[in-house]
Structure 1
C-alpha cells in the first residue's frame, strides 16, 4: 500500500509520499485540472491519499477516487498535530497527514455522494438568493423612510405595491435612479429564485423520504428537501443522539472529577441542518400535538429560545425514527399532506401557454424611462 498526504491550496497542492524505508518524498503540482489528472493517473487501488477538508478538496477527491485510489477526507478540526504545530509549513503539513494516515490516526469525514452534494449546492444557492432579495427590499423600505413616504398597501412588493413604487413622485433624481435599479434587480433575483425552486421541486419528486416528512405540520417541500440533503443516508447514524450531535443541537459538556456542567449547544456539524430545524420548529409549535405541548412546558421554565432549540432537537429525534423505521408522523394531517404533494407536483410541471407562468412586473407598470423622467420644473 502506498500512502500520500496532500495539503491543498488555491494555486498549488503540496504532496508527501511515505516510502517503504519510512522516508518522505515531497512533491508539488499546480492546482489545475491537467496537473490533478496527471497525478491521479499514477494512482491505483493500492494507493491511499489523505486530504484536509477544505473548500476545494472535494473536486480533487472526485478526480482521485475516479482513478481507483482510496481517498480519505480529514477533519482539520480534529487534526491536532497540524493545528497545534509550532513550526507550520506546507511540507510539514503534508508529511504529518501522510504519517497519520499510515498509522490510521486520521479522523475521516463522511463524503456525501455527488447527487447529494449537487442538491446541497442548489439549496444553498437558493438561500443566498433569498438573502439578496431581503436586502434589496430593506433598501427600498429605507428610501421610503428617508423621505417620510407612507405605504398605502399592505404588501409593498405585491402587484399594487409595485405599481405604487413605480409611480412614486417627489423623490430626488438620484433616489429615483436607485429605486429603479433596486426594483429591476429585485425582479431578476425573484426570477432566478423561481427557476432554482422549479429545479428543486423536480428533484423532490424523485427523492425518497420527502412525502414522509411532509406529514409533519410546518415542513414544506423545500424544508423536507433541505433536511434530507443535509442528513444524507440516515443509516450512518446509529442513534438519534448521533444525528442531533451532527446537527449541533446538543449541549456542550464540561466535566472534571465530580464536577460536571452543561453549556450552550455545540453548534458543530452541519449549520444548514441546524438552521432549517430551528425554522421548522418555529412552525411546528403552532400546530396541536406533543411538540407544541413540550415547547409550552419548557418555555415557562427556560424561555422561548431554549425551548425552540430543545423542540428542534426533539423533532430531529422524531425524524430519525420516521426515516429509519419508515413510519408516518403520529399527528400527521392527511389533508394537509395531500395539499403539499399537489403543490409540489404543480410547481414541478413545465410551464405551458395559459399557465401561471410568471410575467415581468414591468409589463403592466410604468417603464424605466417614465420613472427616470425629470419634471420640466426641475430642469
Structure 2
C-alpha cells in the first residue's frame, strides 16, 4: 500500500458461526457488516469489499489468532491474493488499553482490529503449505485422543467398585489405545512422504532430548522457521522469553516466562526440557548454574525450554544436524518426549 492515496483497513472479529467485519478508509469512515463463517460467507465478504472500493493492492486485512475458527478464512483470503495479518490477541488487548477503549463487543472488536492495522501495520501472514496443515490436523487429533484416554483412566479409578462400568471403560480405553497407535503410524508415514518434513524432523531429533513425537508437534505448529528473523523472535513467538519486572530501586519482581505465545509448543517442550536437563551433560551444567543463582525449579525448566527452542532454530536455519560431539551420544527417548 506504499504510495497509495486511497487505503482501506479491514478488521475481522472471528467467532465459530460468524464474522464481524469493519472497513476503515483513509478518511476515517467506518462501515460494518456480519457474514457467516463458512464458504458462502467468505464469498459474500469478497463481494462486500469489492462494492466498497477495496482492492487487493490497497487493502490490509487484520484478524486475531483464534485457532481453527479463523484459519480457513485467512487461508481463503491469502489464496485469493489479499494481504492478511494474523495478530496475537495480547497485542490487540494492549492496543485497546492504550486507547482507553471501553466497549467489548464483536462489532467494536472488528473496528479495533481495523484501527490497529492502520496504526501498527502488522506483518503479513503466510499460510502454511498443505502438508503442514494436514500434519497439524493429525497432531491435534492425536492429542485429543490422548486426552480422552487420560480422562477414561481417571474414570476407571472412580469406578473400580462397579464391574459392569469397568468393562465398558476398559473397552473404550483399548479402542483409544489402538487408535492412538494407528494415528502415530499415520503421522510418521505423512512425514516420510514429504522430503522437507522428513529432513526437518531428522534435524530436530538430532538434538538430545527431542524425539519423533516432539518433532511432529514442532513442525505442525511452527511451520517454516525462516519466517522468524532470529532465534529470539522464535522464542518470543513460542512464549518462553523471560518477563522481567523491575522499576526504580524498590521493585524487583521475580522473572517469569512471558506465556503470551504458542501454548501448544510450550506444552510440547516441557517434558523434553526435563529429560534434557537430566541426561544432557551441558544442559545439566546449565541447570545447576541457574539453581545456584537461586532460580526456582520451574524457572530452570523454562530456561531449558528457551535453550531448546534456540537449538531447534539453529539446526533448521543452518540445515546442519546438531553437533553430537558437544552433548554426547544421541539418546533414544520414550514416546511423548
- Please indicate the TM-score interval, normalised by the length of the shorter structure: 0.7 to 0.9
Q: Deviations over 1:16-65 (max 9, x none)?
A: 33346542233333333213213225555233322233341222212222
1:8 matched to which residue of 2?
A: 14
Question: Does the residue aligned with 1:131 lie in a helix, a strand or coil?
Answer: helix
Note closer, same or farther for the CA distance 1:76–1:320 as it changes in structure 2 (3 Å cut): closer
Question: Does the residue aligned with 2:91 lie in a helix, a strand or coil?
Answer: coil
Q: CA deviation at 1:204?
A: 2.4
TM-score norm. by structure 2 comes to 0.79
Bigger Rg over Cα: 1
Contact 1:50 1:98 in 2 (8 A): yes
TM-score norm. by structure 1 comes to 0.71
Q: Deviations over 1:118-163 (max 9, x none)?
A: 322321221221122122223334444xx5xxxxxxxxxxxxxxxx
Corresponding position: 1:36 with 2:27: no
Contact 1:299 1:307 in 2 (8 A): yes
Question: Does the residue aligned with 2:244 lie in a helix, a strand or coil?
Answer: strand
Note closer, same or farther for the CA distance 1:213–1:181 as it changes in structure 2 (3 Å cut): same
Q: CA deviation at 1:225?
A: 1.7
Contact 1:289 1:331 in 2 (8 A): no
1:23 matched to which residue of 2?
A: 29
Note closer, same or farther for the CA distance 1:5–1:66 as it changes in structure 2 (3 Å cut): same
Task: Give matches, 1:172-187, under 5 Å.
Answer: 175-187=162-174
Note closer, same or farther for the CA distance 1:224–1:334 as it changes in structure 2 (3 Å cut): farther
Choose which of 112, 121, 127 in structure 2 pairs with 1:96: 112
Note closer, same or farther for the CA distance 1:231–1:109 as it changes in structure 2 (3 Å cut): same
Corresponding position: 1:217 with 2:208: yes
- Which stretch of structure 1 is more off in the superposition, 192-201 or 54-63? 54-63
Choose which of 113, 135, 146 in structure 2 pairs with 1:130: 146
Contact 1:15 1:28 in 2 (8 A): yes
1:265 matched to which residue of 2?
A: 257
Note closer, same or farther for the CA distance 1:5–1:309 as it changes in structure 2 (3 Å cut): closer
**Cα distance in 2 for residues equivalent to 1:91 and 1:33:** 21
Q: CA deviation at 1:199?
A: 1.8
**Cα distance in 2 for residues equivalent to 1:320 and 1:65:** 26
Contact 2:78 2:126 in 1 (8 A): no
Contact 2:205 2:212 in 1 (8 A): yes
Note closer, same or farther for the CA distance 1:109–1:21 as it changes in structure 2 (3 Å cut): closer
Q: CA deviation at 1:280?
A: 0.7
Contact 1:200 1:222 in 2 (8 A): no
Question: Does the residue aligned with 1:10 lie in a helix, a strand or coil?
Answer: coil
Task: Give matches, 1:198-209, under 5 Å.
Answer: 198-205=185-192, 206=194, 207=197, 208-209=199-200
Contact 1:75 1:107 in 2 (8 A): no
Q: CA deviation at 1:288?
A: 4.7
**Cα distance in 1 for residues equivalent to 2:330 and 2:246:** 46
Note closer, same or farther for the CA distance 1:134–1:5 as it changes in structure 2 (3 Å cut): closer
Q: CA deviation at 1:185?
A: 0.8
Question: Does the residue aligned with 1:54 lie in a helix, a strand or coil?
Answer: coil
Contact 1:40 1:63 in 2 (8 A): no
Contact 2:84 2:125 in 1 (8 A): no
1:234 matched to which residue of 2?
A: 225
Task: Give matches, 1:158-169, under 5 Å.
Answer: none
Corresponding position: 1:77 with 2:90: yes
2:56 matched to which residue of 1?
A: 45
Corresponding position: 1:196 with 2:183: yes
Q: CA deviation at 1:303?
A: 5.0
| Unaligned 5+ runs, structure 1 | 148-174, 345-379
Question: Does the residue aligned with 2:206 lie in a helix, a strand or coil?
Answer: coil
Question: Does the residue aligned with 2:120 lie in a helix, a strand or coil?
Answer: coil
Note closer, same or farther for the CA distance 1:91–1:184 as it changes in structure 2 (3 Å cut): same
- Which stretch of structure 1 is more off in the superposition, 266-275 or 45-54? 45-54
**Cα distance in 1 for residues equivalent to 2:87 and 2:261:** 14
Contact 1:254 1:260 in 2 (8 A): yes
